[in-house]
Structure 1
Amino acid sequence: MAVKSKGIKRAAESFEKSGKKSKVAKKLPSPPSESEPEEESGSESDISISSEEDELDELDDVEEQNGEEEESDDDEDEDEDDELDELDEGEDEDNEDDSETKEPKEVDPNKKSSKEQHAEQRKLLAERKLQRKSGAEVQQIKNLWEKLRVTKPTPPKEVRDKLCNEVWELSKDVITDLVMKHDASRIVQTLVKYSSKERRDKIVQALKGNFYVLATSAYGKYLLIKLLHYGSKESKALIVDELHGKLRKLMRHREGAYVVEDLFVLYSTAEQKQQMIREFWGSEYAVFRDSGKGKTVLEVVKESSEKKQLIMANLYGTIKASVEKGSTGFQILHAAMKEYVSILVDDIEANDSQIREFIDLLAEQFAELVHTQEGSEVACKLIAVANAKERKIIIRSLKSHINELIKNEYGNLVLITLFMTVDDTVLLHKSFIVEVVTNELMPELIQDKFSRRPFLYLLKGLDGKYFSPLVKNSLTQYEQLAYKKTSKKEQETRRGELLSRAIELMYKSILSTTKADDPEKSFSKLMSVNMAAQFITELILTTTNVENVNETLRLQLVEAVFEVAVKGDVLEDFHLLNKSPFISRSLKALIQGNEFKWDSEAKKLVHNDGDKIPGVGSEFAETIAEHISSNDVLVNWTKGQAAFVLISVLEVLQLADASKFKELQKQLKKNKKQLSKEDKGAKLLLNLL
């Protein structure tokens, strides 16, 4: 009887039904009729018993789907016990039903108890296992494996090596019979894990010619991955060479796709990865390895229109089949998509129908693309060339994944691309900004290098301080693609609309931490994180026309910064200036505001033409000066990080021609002798005087 992959429950139900039929046949034998010989009654009983045996055989071969190496084989025995218990319960229920409708019958004294029946069934199962091909060897190997795989306590190396040798001696001649069964395959996996390089190479040689079969096996694929993980460079090359030319077929296979993905992501060199991708171009490139080598897909398709049509058809066919089989999240598929999309966007007008078809294929699954570099690039380019209707579908599919999207190294670039290309800013605000700019999420997001970037884009645009040249170049390319096809609004207009809707929410979410009961979520804790302090500084220094921000919220945030970063004893280690030295940079930026800037050529502070921002600049410098002078703590501020802040205050007050400058200058001259020339900050103060 062919083994079928069924769930345990379904198999047990089938077994239960078979058991019930057998019992009824025993309890209520029908006398032979004239038209039906007595032998037929006996044959019916035999059929029922045979059905029981086949179902038990199926139950024994029902194989678990996860295939993890360390999973206990004891589970299989427990499953058999459960199935047998279900059978027993099913019989009891059947008896109860009979008792409700019929009169009690006499108990057959020859009938075996449930325990005896179960024992016989287990014995039958054991006999069937031994009768299979290499059954005796497998059973002996499994007994040794049970000792080999123990981890608590871990066997000594000498014991483990001895067990490995014994397992190898028994399995080397039947290894191809072992690797396709879930329990026996795990024996070989353990052997690979604990064996020497030479033995691993022997196992690879023994399985040579079967790697494709292993890759497509529900359990053999795990052994193949183990061989790739632990195998030598030569063994990996042997496996890669044998699978060469079969990758497109494997990508369309439910099990094989996982092997190809691991092979591409974990075990291939850059050159091998390029070779694997070229296989997706077509049969010519799968058979002849050097065909197209050293060329990009765009260079190849430009050689002839026939090549272009063939490569595009092969790439799209592989991608579509893989997407339909649920492999959209695979990195190797993203790499193939990247090749296909690069052809599409090279000539948007000529490939318009293919672009629409490809977006339709992926629009609902965009969240599966954004976690890899290749997938992110594919998503950004498709967003750029999508029309307004298609962009709405893409936004809807990404909306429910916004938390993962914004935190991902590549996903946040997809969100920035949406901010840079979609004209419907109201839709973007409702779909994304409202979802993440909250009291719970925003304080956490601004502490991360990647998740804060979309907000920094809204505040500062593609500022080179936060966006590398490579990232800026990519985002600019997506923007240019968008303006060729769909986008109409000016970039600064679009960004300004998004910012005006988001900035008030940003202030409120950050200010909520000033009232937090949990010290770990307090504003002081937030300011002690470099990324967050930097973001808060940029937020305060960003001009806006939102009245509530200008009149109230910004002043409240500046006051909160003053409370945690200026007030207190600056000589104590727990003061924020000493605990987090970068705070001095944030304070200096707020002291200068938009009124002043550092001239690197003149090496001094000069006036700036920027708009004056309420609460910062000379106004903030005077606030700090007032605090220092009124509390008679000037000497404390002439050491360490505090001294650099004081220098910035003096420079700004001097340029602003404020009366506080002369007052502080006089106090410093009186305490001149207390300034140490060994302290760098104090030395600069002396030079300023």
Structure 2
Amino acid sequence: MAPVTSKQNKNKKRANRIEDSSESISKKAKISIESSDEEDQLDQVSSSGSDDDLDEIMSSDDDEVEKDDVEEDDDEEEEEEEGDEDKPSKEAGSSESSNNHGEQRKLLKERKMQRKAGAEVQHIKSLWERLRVKNPPVPKEVREKLSNEIWSLSEDCISDLVLKHDASRVVQTLVKYSSKSRRDQIVEALKGKFYHLSTSAYGKYLLVKLLHYGSRNSRQLIIDELHGSLRKLMRHREGAYVVEDLFVLYSTHEQRQQMIREFWGSEYAVFRESHNGLSIEAVCESSVEKRNIIARNLIGTITASVEKGSAGFQILHSAMKEYVKIANEKEISEFIELIHEQFAELVHTPEGADVACTLIAKANAKERKQILKTLKNHVESLIKNEYGNLVFTTALLCIDDTVLVFKTFGSAAKEHFTEFIVDKYGRRPWLYILLGLSGKYFSPIVKKDLDRYIKMSEATSKKPALQRRHELLKKFAPIYLSEISKNYSDILAENLGSQFVSEVLLSDELFEQLSEQDVPNFENVINSIITAFKGDISEEDHPVHRPFSGRLLKGLIQGGHWNNKEKKIVKLEKVQGLGAVFAERFYDDIIDSTNLLEWCNNQDSSFIIVALYETLKGTPEGKQFVKDLSKVKKDIDTSNENNKGANLLLKLLN
């Protein structure tokens, strides 16, 4: 007998591998058929899938076979170059695999037809495929006809449809395209099943559709049925999303309060009518025992939800807000320990931001350090967020360790400073460091909340507020100046940026906190401002045509702030280089006798000339300016009614 070669051995192994793969496919087909009479492979497919997902299920085994066929070592690759003996074996395996797949599809279809309402479901799905077409859109008449036909077929078996991924999508489409009365019928037909829909991986999408398209009565019906189960749903992976949507998007204020009171305990869930309008503070003040029960129920729900990954939900933030209102010192510390790693997830909702601010105010030094560590990686989104910037401001207001605050936020502040100061919300914390809680930038409502947090922090914050703010200003002021000097053109292009620069330069407090090394940076900013105003003012993009750029320039020329109550300029006492000094420099570098008349006749720049005249009149530095102004006086155009500055200038000259 001829000896068996290495090549023959490998061909034999490959043929065996193909045969084993074919047997594996047959076994898998058999297992899938015998696995369950009630569930099929469709239940394992993502809710975003369709009937095409069947191909993915059954092609997975085929992929394994093909993968085995192409896994060859280097020796086999070399031998394949010599011949192509393996092709017949591969083709045979492929044909056998295809036959097995066809058989599997056939058995799967037969089993689906044998289920309850199987034929109706298949007919409904065929109609749905026509109804859901978006391109080209289905005509309204055809859509109504298809919707009516689907409803007539599904009305008696709708309960069997809503928990399956593909059939649930049929009902979702029906809800979307049906009339108001039909939607109410669907809600009535599903009455008693809303909890099951909430906890179903596929049914939850239908329930959200019913909330979105349903009437007020339908929503109330759903809320009433889920009432008493909200705490349980918040601990469920699927149910938590339904409760969150229900709370945020589809509930009235009264319904929200009802939902939150359910978290207090069973008594407030069962006897909800008798507890309408109650506040948690009033209930807890009436009984220590009730306070302990409510606190235990709230923290139990919060802990379970946080562990399930629901820390970012607004309804949970509302429950947290209730809890921190009644929590004692020990409970606050335990609560911080529970959520300090998820602290950044609180700040994007008003309730969550209130919780975060309260915890920062009541935390001790060690706990504040934990909180800052968590926020360090979220500085940009924190500060530019409508509610997050209040959390950051509260940290600036309450935390005594200003060195730690600067280490935590300093590098991010420098990196994103330009973005912050031209943002409506992002600039507020930096304005607090500069001006305190000025009514110019903090509304009465915001100031009231911040004052409340300051009062909470009295037990844990020892430094005087002014000392803490000046320490922060001393650390952050160099960043203010260096970034403004570096990015002045981008900053001055925005009104909010120009306003911020004005507050920085017209601040005795900031100038007082500068070290000797930082004073040149202050002068660099002034030089940058002068540079920014060079150019032809007849061009539309010249800074003088931007509303707040002109106000910034007037403030620097006048050397102080306009006091609206006293109707006069309040001169700066400590800042150097502004007022008459700046006015003379500005005239020498930007304006001269050749373009002075143009500045006077332009309605956006004429008030700047008025400010120059009022500042330089009667000073040694202003002799040349007054002389040049007298020469062009007769040519100043007062025919333009909008140029009020030119009219005022002539009045002053006369």
Same fold (TM over 0.5): yes
Contact 1:624 1:649 in 2 (8 A): no
Where does residue 594 of structure 2 map in the other structure?
A: 632
Among 388, 394, 410, which residue is 2:371 paired with?
A: 394
Contact 1:420 1:491 in 2 (8 A): yes
1:192-231 alignment, distance < 5 Å: 192-231=175-214
1:459-478 alignment, distance < 5 Å: 459-478=434-453
Where does residue 353 of structure 1 map in the other structure?
A: 330
> Match for 2:503: what amino acid?
E
Contact 2:263 2:319 in 1 (8 A): yes
Among 445, 450, 453, which residue is 2:428 paired with?
A: 453
Question: Are 2:545 and 1:564 equivalent residues in the alignment?
Answer: no
Question: Are 2:465 and 1:491 equivalent residues in the alignment?
Answer: yes
The 3-state SS of whatever aligns with 2:275 is coil
Q: 1:294 to 1:587 in 2, by over 3 A?
A: same
1:596-638 CA-to-partner distances (Å, cap 9, x unmatched) read: x4343553x3453x42312322222222233465342221122
Mapped to 2, the partners of 1:612 and 1:469 lie a distance apart of: 30
Q: Aligned-pair distance for 1:295?
A: 2.7
Q: Aligned-pair distance for 1:119?
A: 0.9
Q: Aligned-pair distance for 1:182?
A: 0.8
Q: Aligned-pair distance for 1:660?
A: 4.4
Question: Are 2:632 and 1:671 equivalent residues in the alignment?
Answer: yes
Deviates more, 1:567-576 or 1:313-322: 567-576
Q: 1:367 to 1:238 in 2, by over 3 A?
A: same
Runs of 5+ in structure 1 lacking a partner?
1-16, 27-44, 345-350, 514-522
Mapped to 2, the partners of 1:582 and 1:600 lie a distance apart of: 17
Question: Are 2:344 and 1:367 equivalent residues in the alignment?
Answer: yes
Where does residue 609 of structure 2 map in the other structure?
A: 646
Among 543, 555, 571, which residue is 2:523 paired with?
A: 555
Question: Are 2:551 and 1:585 equivalent residues in the alignment?
Answer: yes
Among 51, 54, 61, which residue is 2:31 paired with?
A: 51
Q: Aligned-pair distance for 1:421?
A: 1.4
Mapped to 1, the partners of 2:124 and 2:406 lie a distance apart of: 63
> Match for 2:402: what amino acid?
T
Among 496, 500, 517, which residue is 1:531 paired with?
A: 496
Mapped to 1, the partners of 2:312 and 2:604 lie a distance apart of: 49
Where does residue 576 of structure 1 map in the other structure?
A: 543
1:484-514 CA-to-partner distances (Å, cap 9, x unmatched) read: 1x2112222222222222221232223333x
Deviates more, 1:644-653 or 1:547-556: 547-556
Deviates more, 1:642-651 or 1:50-59: 50-59
> Match for 2:388: what amino acid?
G
Q: 1:20 to 1:280 in 2, by over 3 A?
A: farther
Q: Aligned-pair distance for 1:292?
A: 2.8
Contact 1:407 1:451 in 2 (8 A): yes
Question: Are 2:562 and 1:598 equivalent residues in the alignment?
Answer: yes
> Match for 2:580: what amino acid?
S
Q: Aligned-pair distance for 1:86?
A: 2.6
Contact 1:59 1:80 in 2 (8 A): no
Contact 1:433 1:502 in 2 (8 A): yes
Mapped to 2, the partners of 1:331 and 1:72 lie a distance apart of: 29
Where does residue 318 of structure 1 map in the other structure?
A: 301
Mapped to 2, the partners of 1:352 and 1:628 lie a distance apart of: 62
Q: How many residues align?
A: 616
Mapped to 2, the partners of 1:87 and 1:151 lie a distance apart of: 36
> Match for 1:61: what amino acid?
L
Mapped to 1, the partners of 2:49 and 2:377 lie a distance apart of: 38
Deviates more, 1:677-686 or 1:389-398: 677-686
Mapped to 2, the partners of 1:292 and 1:593 lie a distance apart of: 61
> Match for 2:477: what amino acid?
I
1:221-370 alignment, distance < 5 Å: 221-344=204-327, 351-370=328-347
Contact 2:194 2:207 in 1 (8 A): yes
Q: Aligned-pair distance for 1:274?
A: 0.9
Contact 1:588 1:648 in 2 (8 A): yes
Deviates more, 1:425-434 or 1:76-85: 76-85
Where does residue 23 of structure 1 map in the other structure?
A: 23
1:414-470 CA-to-partner distances (Å, cap 9, x unmatched) read: 1111111112212111111222312xx221221111111121111111111111111
> Match for 2:249: what amino acid?
L
Compute the RMSD of aligned alpha carbons. Answer: 2.9
Contact 1:383 1:391 in 2 (8 A): yes
Question: Are 2:475 and 1:501 equivalent residues in the alignment?
Answer: yes
Q: Percent identity?
A: 51
Q: 1:413 to 1:569 in 2, by over 3 A?
A: same
Runs of 5+ in structure 2 lacking a partner?
1-16, 77-85
The 3-state SS of whatever aligns with 1:281 is coil
Mapped to 1, the partners of 2:179 and 2:219 lie a distance apart of: 15
Contact 2:535 2:542 in 1 (8 A): yes
Q: Aligned-pair distance for 1:652?
A: 2.4
Q: Aligned-pair distance for 1:593?
A: 2.9
Where does residue 520 of structure 1 map in the other structure?
A: none
Deviates more, 1:195-204 or 1:284-293: 284-293
Where does residue 479 of structure 1 map in the other structure?
A: 454
> Match for 2:613: what amino acid?
L
Q: 1:560 to 1:536 in 2, by over 3 A?
A: same
* Superposition TM-score, scaled by structure 1 size: 0.84
> Match for 1:577: what amino acid?
V
The 3-state SS of whatever aligns with 1:392 is helix
> Match for 1:617: what amino acid?
G
Q: 1:143 to 1:328 in 2, by over 3 A?
A: same
Contact 1:366 1:397 in 2 (8 A): yes
> Match for 1:188: what amino acid?
V
1:28-84 CA-to-partner distances (Å, cap 9, x unmatched) read: xxxxxxxxxxxxxxxxx9x8864253469977234345x3xxx45154133124224
Where does residue 518 of structure 1 map in the other structure?
A: none
Among 390, 397, 418, which residue is 1:420 paired with?
A: 397
1:55-204 alignment, distance < 5 Å: 60-65=41-46, 67=47, 71=48, 73-89=50-66, 92=69, 113-204=96-187
Mapped to 2, the partners of 1:172 and 1:559 lie a distance apart of: 78
Q: Aligned-pair distance for 1:152?
A: 1.8
Mapped to 1, the partners of 2:282 and 2:120 lie a distance apart of: 57
Mapped to 2, the partners of 1:480 and 1:62 lie a distance apart of: 55
> Match for 1:582: what amino acid?
F
Mapped to 2, the partners of 1:110 and 1:589 lie a distance apart of: 88
Contact 1:621 1:649 in 2 (8 A): yes
Contact 2:262 2:268 in 1 (8 A): yes
* Superposition TM-score, scaled by structure 2 size: 0.88
1:527-551 CA-to-partner distances (Å, cap 9, x unmatched) read: 1211111112222223233236653
Contact 2:128 2:150 in 1 (8 A): yes
Q: Aligned-pair distance for 1:191?
A: 0.8
1:258-277 CA-to-partner distances (Å, cap 9, x unmatched) read: 11111110001111111111
Q: 1:183 to 1:621 in 2, by over 3 A?
A: same
Contact 2:29 2:104 in 1 (8 A): no
Q: 1:126 to 1:644 in 2, by over 3 A?
A: same
Where does residue 404 of structure 1 map in the other structure?
A: 381
The 3-state SS of whatever aligns with 2:605 is helix
Contact 1:244 1:286 in 2 (8 A): yes
Contact 1:363 1:393 in 2 (8 A): yes
Mapped to 1, the partners of 2:90 and 2:56 lie a distance apart of: 30
The 3-state SS of whatever aligns with 2:540 is coil
